[in-house]
Structure 1
Amino acid sequence: MSTTHHLIVNGESHDVTADYDDTPLLYVLRDSLGLKGVRFGCGTGDCGSCTVLVDGRALKSCEVAVWSVADKSILTVEGIGRHDRLHPIQQAILALQAGQCGYCLSGIIMSAVAMIQNDPGPPDRDKIVRALSSNLCRCGAHGRIIRAIENAWRECAAGAKQ
């Protein structure tokens, strides 16, 4: 039996219909709203490619039932920057050529955004490693990704002081 849910995604309201109440948010974001930056990786919450922010918390959208996020603020990688003005993390990843295949990057970026929003303190490599511990990258680009996030965190902290 299909049900309709009200979602607030990247600041916009959407009424979406799901076949089942326990339909994963991932499928609604990709199939109903066309947000392809939210990646399907493992489907079991192990890889982190589907990470989104829900009310500021990084969650794996393959594990979140659509009903549980009704009327909550959902942020995907498409919502953090624009083509003409990227988010500092996106800019840093491009500047350092931190991504290789790029499949995992949207989930990693969203985990990093949550970390910076929830801990605006000075960059700390150990915090970054912990924040990314549930995001897998098979290319082995984690070293460059961590350096990019350190740079972006510094930029975000400097911008917050202004």
Structure 2
Amino acid sequence: MGAEGLPSLWHAFCMTEEQVSGAHARLRAAGAALAVEQWRLEHGGWPESLEDLVPELLESVPTDPFTGEALRYRQTDEGVRVYSVGIDQTDQDGLAQEERTVAECYPEDYDLPFRLLNPQLRGGRTASFREEIDPEEHWGISLATLKQYGYGPEELKELNLLESEIERLAGR
């Protein structure tokens, strides 16, 4: 292969590296977003920052592979966004590619967000897991009923239910 083939090979390599970084950014944002949702369930609201999740839910705030800095976190009227600034390394306040207007359609002028909606906008129930299964406060759900859905004592412990709550569900 002559030197004329090098630019196209270099371009292909760079695109692959960008795609890998984008995938890493999305996975890190998704993992942090899961911790944000767990925080919401435990505390009744969104955390003020990703630092609030350390060390209870995260060992550290995940880094953005494009900048080496912490992933960004933003509260909106609809919920929250955990995001990477993306390849352009410019913070667009969590603007996703599909949210851009025609005027904003520069090739890489967007962030890589993971969005969580406020519970009332999700179209489902807003009760926490504990509210849904508490037999004294809600509908008398038992451990036997939960087992039908794959939630035995061990699974409930993994969801951080106290032993006393599990015993109460078992009717002990």
> What is the TM-score of this pair, normalised by structure 1?
0.26
> What is the TM-score of this pair, normalised by structure 2?
0.25
Q: Which has the higher contact order (CA 8 A, sep 6+)?
A: 1
* Structure 1 or 2: more strand by fraction: 1
